[in-house]
Amino acid sequence: MTSHHRAQAGYGDTSRAVNAPRQIEYQAFARITHGLSAAIAAEGPGAFPALAEAMHQNLRLWTILAGEMADPNNGLPEKLRAQLLSLALFTREHTSRVLAKEATAEALVEINTAIMRGLRAQNEAALCPA
């Protein structure tokens, strides 16, 4: 293997565009929300385990987000950070209720979808500054 090939293997395809942080967040929410919606729609003996896994993935996402909001170096406005932390707490509590079969998961899909709308608007604003 030549040094050129070793360098390519080590650094990968550098021509690929790097996603902005908000795009990555949007993609994570989209993937998790799609899985959650599919699990809600599932029927049969595997439905609850699939829902439990989707709920776990959603909770992981919100736990990561909560950690980011608690970081004093986070650049978001304090009010927005507080609102997102509140949603993270709601998500944790509601997940427990869904897994105890005391509630449905649709509210979590609605929250995620609203977050995705906000992230999409931020992405569009970043691409088309006024």
- Answer whether 95's CB lies under 8 Å from 54's CB: no
pTM of the complete model beyond 0.85 = no
> What are 22-37's pLDDT values in tens digits?
899 999 999 999 999 9
Would you tell me how many other CB atoms lie within 10 Å of the CB of residue 96?
A: 13
Alpha carbon distances (Å) from 60 to 15, 17, 29, 55: 31, 27, 11, 9
Instruction: Identify the pLDDT of residue 16.
Output: 46
- The SS3 assignment for 81 reads helix
Band (pLDDT 50/70/90 cuts) for residue 20 is confident
- The SS3 assignment for 129 reads coil
Question: How far apart (Å, rounded) are the C-alpha atoms in residues 99 and 51?
Answer: 8
Question: How far apart (Å, rounded) are the C-alpha atoms in residues 107 and 111?
Answer: 6
pLDDT at 9 over 70: no
Band (pLDDT 50/70/90 cuts) for residue 127 is low
